[in-house]
């Protein structure tokens, strides 16, 4: 038994199996229920209504510019699509999506001059989808990579589990992984820091991660560090910087942080053109097992609120995030070249470059040492 469905703007007709609930049909067609009216004759249907055999249904977009075009075929080869990318107004089959993802990464690396074929690369891997997808692409592209994983102890189960995903990935591919356990190497776990230092958890954790990754890359003589930040991450950071009009951070925000100071190894983000959903799809389609759970301490993280705000905008206008961040890089950032950069010193405690007297990480860990007793 079937029903006829007409999609409008642009017009398309399909036949669906019936009976079936409206919400199921919309989900199968990857249509946002908030962006359309579902019409049967004179009546409007809700998500819970049943479309019955022989019904004539119209799905009509209601948001200006919210054209509902359903792509079920791969844009590149015409086979059945497995993922729809509304931002690109396209769907891809598995093989063509993996190709698309790899090409976007290659384009970022080449266009931004991120990596040389002979570079010794340290890949910072958390065990999540982004950094494992990144590592996978880099290995497939033939780069010389070593993984670097920090056990942060943000959760007693979460930490060993994240390490397990990372280690399994490395073992399966026969690539080298360096593991740094903060309890052993720094003498503390992340959850202790807010009480002793007064810093919010995610801030203290971010500071620790950046410091450890930079220090390891320098101490071990790597040419460049790769980080798994994606388009959603970068757009959220940009939104935060814009909301505070933090011109110093805006001037520095970039997919490539060059090695300007002695002691600071070049840092790059090859996934900056790819969304979080795309990195998740890549990891899934490649059969990469990754830590799907969020960090147990993430609640209240401001970046998540910025992400949620951008998701809301993206939902009704696919491409908003890309336009915001990629447009910033292309058009706004060049205007910020004259923003004064603070003079750098060498941290007397750890030897890393810093704008302050002692670096922020060493200051934090000194406070922690003093207060923990």
Per CB under 5 A, residues contacting Zn ion are 347, 349-350, 359, 362
Closest CA to 2 of 22, 12, 16, 14: 16
Q: What is the DSSP letter of 78?
A: -
For Zn ion, the closer CB: 59 or 204: 204
How far CA 53 is from CA of 18, 41, 57, 60, in Å, comes to 5, 14, 11, 20
Question: Which x/- pattern over 208-227 shows residues binding ligand AMP (rule: CB under 6 A)?
Answer: -x-----------------x
CB atoms within 10 A of CB 300: 10
Tell me: does residue 124 bind ligand AMP (CB under 6 A). yes
Asked if 249 and 257 count as a contact pair (C-beta separation under 8 A), the reply is no
Closest CA to 179 of 193, 192, 206, 160: 160
Smallest gap from Cβ 206 to ligand AMP, in A, equals 6
Closest residue to ligand AMP, based on beta-carbon distance: 228
If you search the block for the tokens 């509304």, which residue do you land on? 86
Distance separating alpha carbons of residues 214 and 217, to the nearest angstrom: 5
Distance separating alpha carbons of residues 365 and 347, to the nearest angstrom: 13
Contacts of residue 21, Cβ cutoff 8 Å, sequence gap at least 6 = 47, 48, 49, 50, 51
Q: Of these partners, ligand AMP, Zn ion, none, which one is at the site of residue 350 (CB under 5 to 8 Å by kind)?
A: Zn ion
Tell me: does residue 150 bind ligand AMP (CB under 6 A). yes
Asked if 57 and 5 count as a contact pair (C-beta separation under 8 A), the reply is yes
Smallest gap from Cβ 333 to ligand AMP, in A, equals 21
By CB under 6 A, the residues from 129 to 148 that bind ligand AMP are 130-131, 148
Q: Which of 20, 86, 87, 149 binds ligand AMP (CB under 6 A)?
A: 149
How far CA 138 is from CA of 109, 145, 188, 239, 331, in Å, comes to 10, 7, 32, 29, 29
Stretch binding ligand AMP (CB under 6 A), from 8-16, 68-76, 149-157, 365-373: 149-157
Q: Of these partners, ligand AMP, Zn ion, none, which one is at the site of residue 131 (CB under 5 to 8 Å by kind)?
A: ligand AMP
By CB under 6 A, the residues from 40 to 79 that bind ligand AMP are none
For ligand AMP, the closer CB: 55 or 130: 130
Smallest gap from Cβ 210 to Zn ion, in A, equals 11
String of DSSP letters for 274-335: S-HHHHHHHHHHTT-----SPPTT-TT-HHHHHHHHHHHHHHHSTTHHHHHHHHIIIIIGGG
Q: Of these partners, ligand AMP, Zn ion, none, which one is at the site of residue 362 (CB under 5 to 8 Å by kind)?
A: Zn ion
Smallest gap from Cβ 369 to ligand AMP, in A, equals 22
Q: Of these partners, ligand AMP, Zn ion, none, which one is at the site of residue 71 (CB under 5 to 8 Å by kind)?
A: none
Closest CA to 25 of 50, 43, 42: 50
Smallest gap from Cβ 365 to Zn ion, in A, equals 8
Q: Of these partners, Zn ion, ligand AMP, none, which one is at the site of residue 228 (CB under 5 to 8 Å by kind)?
A: ligand AMP
- What is the number of alpha carbons within 13 Å of residue 300 lying toward its C-beta? 5
Q: Of these partners, ligand AMP, Zn ion, none, which one is at the site of residue 150 (CB under 5 to 8 Å by kind)?
A: ligand AMP
Tell me: does residue 255 bind ligand AMP (CB under 6 A). no
Give contact residues for ligand AMP (rule: CB under 6 A): 124-126, 130-131, 148-150, 152, 209, 227-229, 233
């Amino acid at each position: 038994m079937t029903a006829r469905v007409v999609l409008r703007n642009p017009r398309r007709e399909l036949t669906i199996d019936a009976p079936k609930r409206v919400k199921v049909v919309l989900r199968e067609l990857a249509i946002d229920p908030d962006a359309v009216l579902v019409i049967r004759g004179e009546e409007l249907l809700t998500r819970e209504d049943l479309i019955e055999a022989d019904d004539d249904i119209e799905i009509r977009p209601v948001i200006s510019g919210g054209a509902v075009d359903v792509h079920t075929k791969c844009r590149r080869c015409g086979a059945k699509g497995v993922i729809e990318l509304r931002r690109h107004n396209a769907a891809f089959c598995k093989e063509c999506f993996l190709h698309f993802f790899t090409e976007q990464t290659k384009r970022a690396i080449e266009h931004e001059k991120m990596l040389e074929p002979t570079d010794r690369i340290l890949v910072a891997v958390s065990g999540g989808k982004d950094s494992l997808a990144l590592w996978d692409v880099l290995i497939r592209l033939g780069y010389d990579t070593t993984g670097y994983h920090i056990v942060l102890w943000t959760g007693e189960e979460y930490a060993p589990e994240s390490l397990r995903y990372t280690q399994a990935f490395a073992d399966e591919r026969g690539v080298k992984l360096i593991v740094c356990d903060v309890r052993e190497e720094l003498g503390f776990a992340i959850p202790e820091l807010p009480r002793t230092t007064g810093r919010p958890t995610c801030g203290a954790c971010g500071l620790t991660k950046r410091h450890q990754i930079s220090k390891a890359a320098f101490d071990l003589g790597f040419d460049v560090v790769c980080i798994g930040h994606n388009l959603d991450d970068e757009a959220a950071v940009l939104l935060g910087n814009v909301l505070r009009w933090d011109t110093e951070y805006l001037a520095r925000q970039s997919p490539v942080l060059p090695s300007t100071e002695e002691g600071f190894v070049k840092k790059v983000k090859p996934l900056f053109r790819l969304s979080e959903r795309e990195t998740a799809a890549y990891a899934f389609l490649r059969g990469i097992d990754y830590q799907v759970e969020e960090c147990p301490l993430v609640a209240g993280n401001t970046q998540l609120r910025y992400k949620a705000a951008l998701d809301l905008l993206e939902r009704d206008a696919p491409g908003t995030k890309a336009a915001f961040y990629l447009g910033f890089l292309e058009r706004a950032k060049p205007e910020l070249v004259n923003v004064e950069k603070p003079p750098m010193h060498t941290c007397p405690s750890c030897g890393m470059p810093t704008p302050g007297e002692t670096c922020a990480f060493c200051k934090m860990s000194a406070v922690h040492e003093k207060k923990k007793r």
